[in-house]
C-alpha cells in the first residue's frame, strides 16, 4: 500500500471504530467516509465495515419491523463483495413487507438517489427452489425478482428522485405466490443533482445495463471505492464490431480533467474502451426486452486516452437517429445522454468518424455505456399527513397486523386492514376501524391528525384515559364509536355538541368511568350574559339594544321600587348543565324553526322543554337571543315561561316550562280514533287563553310586542289544557305602530301572514290579529290554515267563506265535534274570526276587543249549556249572515289583568 492510501485507510478505520462506539442511533445512515450512503445488510446481526469496499454496513434494525433473519449456507464470503449477501431477511408473513428509509440529505428529504436491492438465494432455506416475487418502490411496481439459478447474485437498481414533499423511501417486497420473498442488502447512494435526468422531471430510471466497455478481465466489476457513487460497472459482454483497447496498462493511471464532469465515471472504467481499426464506423447493439418498459434512455461515456495531434471527432447515432457530433479532448471525460426513445426490441448505437477531419482521421471510441428504462411511478402515495398519522398510530399501539406495511391505502389491494381510503390520486384515509384490535393505552394523538376521517371505530379495546377534545375538530367525522373501552373523564362538550347537532353519531356506551361533565370546569366557564352578545357582532348589538330598551322601559313602566341595576332573574345555565338536564339530549320532543326541542329535568325534578338553537342558522341565533331577552321579563299565565337559558357563545338553549299537552295543531289534526277531541268548550277556553296572552303582548307591554309568527303550532297546552303562546323568536318591540323600520325582514308562516304585509312590508299588531283570526278558524273547523287537497292547497279563509255565506254552520264546524256545540256561540266565533281576517288591517279589531267578544261568546256557551244544546241549530237561515256588517263593535279598553 502506498503512503496516501495507507493514511486514508487508517483514517477510515479510525472513524469506523469511533462510530462503532457511538450510540446506535447515530450510526443510522451515517457511513463516516461516505455521507451520502446508506448500506443495509438485511438480516445481519451486527453492523460492520467492509474492508474491500470501504463501506460501513448497518443492520436493518429500525428500517423494518417484519420478517426473519436468515443466513446462506455458503462459507467463505468473508470480506469480499458478497459479504453483505451472507445474511438475508425473509418474509414468510404478509403480502407486502416494506423497508422504510429516511433519506440521508437534510434538504427536506429532496434528492436524487441510486437505490440498489440485492438478492442471493444460495439455498438458504434448503428448499433448493428459488422464489419469484415483486419489488415495489413506494406504491409503484419496480420489477420482478427472479433467479436464473440458485447461486445468482441478483441486483436491482434504480435512480430515484425523492420529491420535496416525500419524507421517506419505501422499498417493498410483494409476495406473488411464487415463493417467500427475501432480500440480502439494500443500498442507497445519494447522487449529485446534475447527474442523469434533470430533477425537475422527477423520473425514476431503472437500470438495464451498465457496462465498462473494453474491460473483459475475469475479475468482478468495479464499484466503490473506485466509483465514488458505488455504481456497479459490469465487464463488457456487449455485441460490438470494435476491438478492445486500453490506454492504461494498470500501472499508474493518468489523471483526468474532471472540471466539468458530473458523472465521475471511474478512471478504471474510462481507461478501457472499444474502437475500430479497419472501418471508421463503430456500432453496438443489444437485444433488450423488459415487460412494461417502453421508454428508454442511455448515457454514453467517453474519454480520450491518447494524446493525439488533433482531437477525435465523430457522430453518434441511436437506432439510426442522429444524436450528436462530438470532439474529444485528451483526458477530458464526456457524457452524452441520448434522447428518450421508444423500443421494445433492442438498440443499435453507431459512432461514425467525422469525414471533415478525415485527413487526420482517427476512429471513434466508446468507453462506457449505461442503459435505463423509465419506470411508471404515476401512482401517488397516500397523503403524507395521513401516512404519518397512521405510522404514529401503529407505533402508539404497537399494531403488528401483517397488512400494516408500506403505504396505508395504495395499491388498493394492499390497503391496511381496517383502513378505507378515498380514491383521489393522493388518497386520504376516510375510515379507520380498529374495533377489537387489542388497543391499549390512551387514544393516540396521531388519530386526531387524520383530518379526512368520516368514521372512526375504536370500540371493544382496552383504551383508557380521556377522550381528546381534538376529535371534535375532525371536520368530516360523523361516526365515532368509543364504546366498550375503559375511558375516563368527561365527554368533551364539543363532541356532545356535534352529536345533538346531528353531525356526529357518537357511541360511548360501556365506558363505566366516563362522565358527562367536568364540574370543576363548569363553574369557571359560566359566562356573563352581556359580554358574549356584544362580542358576537353588531347585528346582535342592535338586538341587545332593543332588548335593553325593553328592559329599561319595563322597569320604568312597572317601577315599583325596582329601579337600579338591571338584574336578570334567571341564572344562565352552562352547556354542561344543559347536557345533564337533557340526559345527554336523550329525548327529542319537538323541532322548532331554529332547532330541536328536548325533554329535560331540573335538579328539583321539574320537567322542562329545552330548545336548542341549531348552530347553522345565524339569523335564528339573533332571534333566539331576542327571545331570551324578552322572555326574561315577559311573564303572563298565557305565555310559555322561560325557566332559564344557556348562552355560552357557542351553544344557545332556552329552557321553558314543559307544556305536556303539545301544541294546538296536534290536537286539531289528530285523526286517531282514541284521540281526545277538543270539546267546543275547551276550544273556547283556548281562544280566550291565547287572546289573553296576545293582549298582554300588545297592550300590557310598553312598548308593545308583536309576535309576528302566531300559529296553532305556537299555541301550547299544559297538563290542564290551558293554552299558552310560545315562540317569541320573531317578536320585536316597536315604538310606534306605523314605524316600518322595525319590520325589516320577512316573518311569519304562510297561511297566517297578514295579506297587507305584502304591500306595506310591515308587520304591526293587526298582523297578529289576522293570524289570530286564522287560528280561530282552525279551532272552529279543525282544518289547518292551508287545506291540502288533490287540486292543490287552499287557504282556510277561501274554503270557509262560501260556506259561511251559505249560512251552513254545520259544514263549517269540525265534524269531529259530532254536532256537540252551541250554534249561537259557533256563529259568534265565526263572526269574530271573520272580523280578524279582514284584508284591510285598519278594519280588524284590536285583540282586546276580540278578547271581550270571546268572553261574550263564552257566556253564550255556558248559558246554552244549561239549555238543550242541539235545539236551535237551524235557527239561522241562509243569507242572514252579512259579512260586511260584521265588524266587531268595540270601544272597550285593553283588557286589564
> Interface with ligand NAG by CB under 6 A: which residues?
95, 247, 249, 279, 281, 307, 330, 352, 385, 389, 392, 398, 400-403, 411, 413, 417, 433, 435, 437, 445-446, 449, 455, 457, 464, 479, 481, 486, 488, 513
* Residues 607, 883: Cα–Cα separation, whole Å: 46
Q: How far is the CB of 687 from ligand NAG (least distance, A)?
A: 52
Query: Could you give the maximum distance between any two Cα atoms of the chain, in Å?
Result: 143
For ligand NAG, give the closer residue by CB, 474 or 713.
Answer: 474
Helix H or strand E segment including 175: strand 169-178
Within 320-367, strands assigned E span 321-328, 334-337, 341-342, 346-353, 365-366
* Residues 51, 211: Cα–Cα separation, whole Å: 25
The three grid cell numbers given for residue 435, joined into one nine-digit string:
374495533
* Residues 597, 655: Cα–Cα separation, whole Å: 9
Q: How far is the CB of 337 from ligand NAG (least distance, A)?
A: 21
Length of the chain as a residue count: 897
For ligand NAG, give the closer residue by CB, 9 or 281.
Answer: 281
DSSP structural state of residue 443: P
For ligand NAG, give the closer residue by CB, 195 or 384.
Answer: 384
- With DSSP H G I counted as helix, E B as strand and the rest as coil, what are the percentages for the chain, rounded to 5? 25, 25, 45
Q: How far is the CB of 513 from ligand NAG (least distance, A)?
A: 6
CB 232 within 8 A of CB 223: yes
Q: Hey, which residues does 133 pair with through a beta bridge? A: 145
Integer angstrom CA distances of residue 248 from 254, 259, 273, 381, 467: 8, 21, 10, 49, 73
Q: What are phi and psi of 159, to 5 degrees?
A: -110, 120
Q: How far is the CB of 413 from ligand NAG (least distance, A)?
A: 4
Residues with Cβ within 8 Å of 884's Cβ and at least 6 positions away in sequence, in order, are: none
For ligand NAG, give the closer residue by CB, 185 or 382.
Answer: 382
Q: How far is the CB of 544 from ligand NAG (least distance, A)?
A: 40
- 611 labelled ligand-binding: yes
Helix H or strand E segment including 601: strand 596-601
Q: How far is the CB of 449 from ligand NAG (least distance, A)?
A: 4
10 Å Cβ neighbour count for 583? 13
10 Å Cβ neighbour count for 49? 21
Among residues 240, 178, 195, the alpha carbon closest in space to that of 214 is found at 240
Catalytic (active-site) positions: 709
* Residues 532, 103: Cα–Cα separation, whole Å: 51
10 Å Cβ neighbour count for 892? 12
* Residues 753, 761: Cα–Cα separation, whole Å: 11
Q: Quick one: three-class SS letters along 153-167?
A: EEEEEEEEEECCCCC
User: CA angle 629-632-634, nearest 5°?
Assistant: 105
Three-state secondary structure call for residue 802: helix
Q: How far is the CB of 643 from ligand NAG (least distance, A)?
A: 37
Q: How far is the CB of 590 from ligand NAG (least distance, A)?
A: 30
* Residues 416, 406: Cα–Cα separation, whole Å: 9
CB 781 within 8 A of CB 830: no
CB 822 within 8 A of CB 862: no
The three grid cell numbers given for residue 240, joined into one nine-digit string:
460490438
Q: How far is the CB of 392 from ligand NAG (least distance, A)?
A: 4
For ligand NAG, give the closer residue by CB, 249 or 671.
Answer: 249
For ligand NAG, give the closer residue by CB, 416 or 895.
Answer: 416
Residues with Cβ within 8 Å of 777's Cβ and at least 6 positions away in sequence, in order, are: 783, 785, 796, 797, 800, 833, 837
Q: How far is the CB of 542 from ligand NAG (least distance, A)?
A: 41
* Residues 327, 312: Cα–Cα separation, whole Å: 6
Three-state secondary structure call for residue 298: strand
Q: Hey, which residues does 190 pair with through a beta bridge? A: 113
Residue ranges for the known binding site are 611
Residue ranges for the known binding site for ATP are 611
Amino acid at each position: 500500500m502506498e503512503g496516501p492510501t495507507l493514511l486514508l485507510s487508517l483514517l477510515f478505520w479510525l472513524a469506523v471504530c469511533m462510530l462503532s462506539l457511538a450510540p446506535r442511533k447515530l450510526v443510522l445512515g451515517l457511513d463516516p467516509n461516505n455521507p451520502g450512503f446508506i448500506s443495509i445488510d438485511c438480516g445481519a446481526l451486527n453492523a460492520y465495515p467492509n474492508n474491500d469496499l470501504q463501506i460501513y454496513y448497518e443492520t436493518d434494525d429500525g428500517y423494518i419491523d417484519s420478517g426473519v433473519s436468515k443466513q446462506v449456507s455458503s462459507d467463505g464470503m468473508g470480506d469480499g463483495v458478497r459479504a453483505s449477501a451472507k445474511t438475508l431477511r425473509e418474509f414468510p408473513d404478509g403480502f407486502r413487507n416494506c423497508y422504510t428509509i429516511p433519506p440521508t440529505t437534510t434538504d427536506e428529504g429532496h434528492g436524487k438517489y441510486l437505490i440498489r436491492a440485492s438478492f442471493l438465494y444460495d439455498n438458504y432455506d434448503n428448499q433448493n427452489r428459488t422464489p419469484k416475487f415483486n419489488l415495489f418502490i413506494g406504491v409503484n411496481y419496480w420489477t420482478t425478482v427472479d433467479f436464473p439459478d440458485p447461486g445468482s447474485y441478483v441486483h436491482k437498481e434504480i435512480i430515484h428522485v425523492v420529491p420535496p414533499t416525500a419524507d421517506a423511501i419505501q422499498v417493498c417486497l410483494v409476495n406473488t405466490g411464487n415463493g417467500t420473498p427475501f432480500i440480502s442488502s439494500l443500498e442507497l447512494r445519494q447522487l449529485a443533482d446534475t447527474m442523469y435526468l434533470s430533477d425537475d422531471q422527477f423520473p425514476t430510471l431503472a437500470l438495464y445495463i451498465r457496462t465498462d466497455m473494453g474491460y473483459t478481465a475475469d475479475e468482478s466489476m468495479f464499484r466503490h471505492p473506485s466509483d465514488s457513487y458505488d455504481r456497479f460497472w459490469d465487464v463488457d459482454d456487449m455485441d460490438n464490431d470494435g476491438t478492445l483497447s486500453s490506454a492504461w496498462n494498470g500501472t499508474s493511471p493518468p489523471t483526468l480533467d474532471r472540471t466539468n464532469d458530473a458523472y465521475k465515471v471511474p478512471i478504471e472504467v474510462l481507461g478501457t474502451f472499444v474502437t475500430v481499426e479497419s472501418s471508421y464506423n463503430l456500432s453496438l447493439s443489444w437485444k433488450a426486452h423488459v415487460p412494461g418498459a417502453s421508454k428508454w434512455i442511455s448515457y454514453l461515456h467517453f474519454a480520450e486516452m491518447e494524446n493525439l495531434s488533433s482531437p477525435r471527432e465523430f457522430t453518434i447515432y441511436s437506432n439510426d437517429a442522429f444524436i450528436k457530433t462530438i470532439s474529444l479532448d485528451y483526458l477530458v471525460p464526456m457524457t452524452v445522454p441520448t434522447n428518450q426513445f421508444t423500443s421494445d426490441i433492442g438498440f443499435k448505437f453507431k459512432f461514425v468518424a467525422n469525414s471533415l477531419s478525415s485527413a487526420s482521421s482517427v476512429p471513434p471510441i466508446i468507453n462506457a455505456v449505461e442503459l435505463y428504462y423509465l419506470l411508471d411511478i404515476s401512482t401517488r402515495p397516500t397523503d403524507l399527513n395521513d401516512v404519518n398519522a397512521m405510522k404514529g398510530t401503529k407505533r402508539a399501539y404497537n399494531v403488528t397486523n401483517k397488512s400494516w406495511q408500506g403505504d396505508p391505502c395504495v395499491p388498493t389491494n394492499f390497503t391496511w386492514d381496517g383502513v378505507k381510503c378515498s380514491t383521489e390520486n393522493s388518497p386520504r384515509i376516510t375510515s379507520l376501524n380498529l374495533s377489537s384490535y387489542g388497543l391499549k393505552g390512551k387514544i393516540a394523538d396521531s388519530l386526531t391528525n387524520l383530518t379526512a376521517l368520516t368514521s372512526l371505530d375504536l370500540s371493544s379495546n382496552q383504551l383508557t384515559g380521556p377522550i381528546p377534545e381534538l376529535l371534535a375538530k375532525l371536520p368530516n367525522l360523523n361516526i365515532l364509536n368509543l364504546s366498550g373501552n375503559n375511558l375516563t373523564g368527561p365527554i368533551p362538550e364539543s363532541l356532545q355538541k356535534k352529536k345533538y347537532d346531528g353531525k356526529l353519531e357518537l357511541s360511548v356506551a360501556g365506558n363505566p368511568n366516563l362522565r358527562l361533565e367536568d364540574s370543576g370546569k363548569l363553574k369557571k366557564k359560566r359566562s356573563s350574559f352581556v359580554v358574549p352578545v356584544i362580542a358576537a357582532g353588531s347585528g346582535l348589538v342592535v338586538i341587545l339594544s332593543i332588548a335593553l330598551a325593553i328592559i329599561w322601559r319595563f322597569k320604568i313602566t312597572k317601577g315599583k321600587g325596582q329601579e337600579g341595576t338591571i338584574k336578570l332573574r334567571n341564572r344562565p345555565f352552562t352547556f354542561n348543565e344543559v347536557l345533564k338536564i337533557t340526559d345527554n339530549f336523550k329525548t327529542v320532543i319537538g323541532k322548532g324553526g331554529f332547532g330541536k326541542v328536548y325533554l329535560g329535568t331540573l335538579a328539583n325534578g321539574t320537567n322542562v322543554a329545552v330548545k336548542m338553537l341549531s348552530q347553522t342558522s345565524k339569523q335564528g341565533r339573533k332571534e333566539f337571543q331576542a327571545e331570551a331577552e324578552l322572555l326574561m321579563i315577559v311573564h303572563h299565565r298565557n305565555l310559555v315561561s322561560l325557566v332559564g337559558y344557556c348562552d355560552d357563545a357557542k351553544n344557545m338553549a332556552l329552557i321553558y316550562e314543559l307544556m305536556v299537552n303539545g301544541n294546538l295543531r296536534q290536537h286539531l289534526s289528530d285523526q286517531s280514533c282514541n284521540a281526545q277531541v277538543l270539546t267546543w268548550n275547551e276550544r273556547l277556553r283556548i281562544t280566550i287563553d291565547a287572546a289573553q296572552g296576545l293582549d298582554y303582548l300588545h297592550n300590557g307591554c310598553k312598548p308593545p310586542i308583536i309576535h309576528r309568527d302566531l300559529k296553532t303550532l305556537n299555541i301550547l297546552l299544559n297538563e290542564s289544557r290551558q293554552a299558552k303562546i310560545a315562540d317569541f323568536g320573531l317578536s320585536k318591540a316597536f315604538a310606534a305602530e306605523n314605524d316600518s323600520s322595525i319590520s325589516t325582514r320577512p316573518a311569519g308562516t304562510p297561511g297566517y301572514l297578514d295579506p297587507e304585509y305584502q304591500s306595506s312590508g310591515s308587520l304591526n299588531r293587526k298582523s297578529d290579529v289576522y293570524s289570530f283570526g286564522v287560528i280561530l278558524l282552525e279551532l272552529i273547523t279543525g282544518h289547518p290554515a292551508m287545506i291540502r287537497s288533490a287540486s292543490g292547497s287552499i287557504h282556510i279563509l277561501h274554503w270557509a267563506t262560501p260556506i259561511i255565506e251559505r249560512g251552513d254552520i254545520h259544514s263549517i264546524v269540525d265534524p269531529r265535534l259530532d254536532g256537540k256545540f252551541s250554534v249561537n256561540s259557533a256563529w259568534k266565533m265565526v263572526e269574530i274570526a271573520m272580523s280578524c281576517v279582514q284584508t284591510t288591517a285598519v278594519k280588524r279589531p284590536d285583540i282586546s276587543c276580540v278578547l271581550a267578544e270571546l268572553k261574550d261568546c263564552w257566556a253564550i256557551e255556558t248559558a246554552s249549556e244549561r239549555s238543550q244544546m242541539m235545539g236551535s241549530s237551524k235557527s239561522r237561515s241562509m243569507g242572514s249572515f252579512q259579512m260586511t256588517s260584521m265588524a266587531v263593535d268595540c270601544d272597550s279598553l285593553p283588557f286589564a289583568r
